[in-house]
Amino acid sequence: MKVFVTGGAGYIGSHVVKALGEKGHDVLVYDNLSTGNEWAVLHGRLVVADLADKLTLARVLDEYRPDAVMHFAASIVVHESVQSPVKYYLNNTACTLNLIEAMLETGTGRLIFSSTAAVYGIAEGSPIVQESAPLNPINPYGTSKMMNELVLRDTSAAYNDFRYVSLRYFNVAGANREGRIGQVYKNATHLITRALKTAKGELGGLEIYGTDYPTSDGTCIRDYIHVEDLANAHIAALDYLGAGGESNVFNCGYGHGSSVREVVAQAKKITGIDFNVSECGRREGDPPALVAGNEKIKSVLRWTPLYDDLGYIIKTAWDWEKKLA
């Protein structure tokens, strides 16, 4: 298939582009390189442009005529979204509207959307959330993604030839096993990456934000998924839409979580470095626990995770970090 990938030079997008290329798909990446890197695009071609540029977007889509679109381009830092909400509604919601409009104009009817567990907000009762749970985001990042999902739902209902899959990511981590691509952010915010950069000496210490949450050890619990398992979920979603599957929403996670303290302990074990850790107050917009109910993606998309192991996830991320040194 011909696949148009927005944000394909970024962390998750580049891993999906690699998986698409290895499956024999023709790929065109559309990325403004604000957080992505040209060297991370291992397959296909790269067009450096912005989704806010509606004329260029429509022209490129019209010329390429893809069979499907995968949409990764977005701002993703939760606490930044609390401080700069307008940026998030512009980058995440308005630009997605531009993309959907361009797809409708050019007759492109399949979209795989990069969503987030942040659409759920604070899960009531069990920390395990199913796709049927109410959407109640507690930060602008989550709200911007929820708004996109609502637009996709309504667009799919209005146009018979428009179908989508929304993949709600939990906490994505790790790196390509071969060490070819991985996470590269100027100001890393992900816990595992910050822990490893602290072990390398790039950061003076690692902060634990909040130790009084109603969890087993007082720190936040998250469901960490290896980036290559997530890439395979996108391939499964593409196959699903290609086979005529209806619009749908799926959680992407392993169905169990790890606390911040557990991640820190594992990072120290794998690196062999007892790096400095300090405890701070809670950050705005952080729910106590988020764990994916993943029965639906396993049964409908026939997705089978291969790397469900926190130690392995951290090891691949550590190997990548050492390569960056």
Please identify every residue annotated as catalytic.
141
Distance CA 272, CA 276 (A): 13
Residues ≥6 apart with Cβ < 8 Å to 8: 14, 16, 17, 27, 29, 30, 31, 36, 41, 44, 46, 70, 72
Distance CA 80, CA 253 (A): 24
Amino acid at 157: A
Site of tokens 């169905």: 255
Within 10 Å of residue 300's Cβ, how many Cβ atoms?
15
Please check whether residue 278 is in contact with residue 144, taking contact to mean a CB–CB distance below 8 angstroms: no
List the structure tokens of 148. 């996109």
Nearest partner of 167 among 217, 93, 117, judged by Cα: 117
Helical H runs in the chain? 11-22, 54-64, 78-83, 85-88, 95-106, 140-158, 191-200, 227-242, 260-271, 295-300, 310-324
Structure letter (DSSP) for residue 101: H
Please check whether residue 81 is in contact with residue 118, taking contact to mean a CB–CB distance below 8 angstroms: no
Within 10 Å of residue 216's Cβ, how many Cβ atoms?
11
